[in-house]
Amino acid sequence: GAATVNTAGVAGALAAGQQMLLIDVLGAAYSLPGAVVAPTLASPGSFEDRIQQQAAHWLDKVTGGRRDAPIVLYCSDPNCWLSYNAALRTVAAGYTNVYWYRGGLQAWQMAGLQVVPSGM
C-alpha cells in the first residue's frame, strides 16, 4: 500500500535532491514546485475500469516504466481524499514506492514553503 508522508518529509526529500514524482491531483491554480498535474488519476471507479488503464499507461510513461519510482500524491488539504484515491490507483497499477501527502497544498503553504503556478 501507500505510506503517509508529512510536509517535513516531502520538503526534506526535495531539499536533499531526492528524485521523486510529485503529482497534484487537484489541478488548482498553484502547485508544489516541480509537480505534475494529473486530476484524472483521482477519478472514482474501479481498478478494472478504463480510467485505471489510462492511469497505468500514463504512470508508465512518466516513470519510464520504473515500478519502484518514488511517487508522492497530494491535493488541497487533509480533508481532500482525491489524492488518497490516486494513491490507491497508483498502487493498483503495480507501483511500490507510493506516498500520500495528506496535508497537501494547505499544509505546504502553512509551513511557509513556496508554491508555483500549476504547470510550471
| pLDDT at residue 120, rounded to an integer | 54
| pLDDT at residue 1, rounded to an integer | 85
Number of domains the chain contains: 1
**Residue 117, C-beta contacts closer than 8 angstroms, at least 6 positions apart:** 29, 30, 31
**Parent domain of 69:** 3-117
CATH number at residue 9: 3.40.250.10
Ranges of residues in the chain whose predicted pLDDT is under 70: 119-120
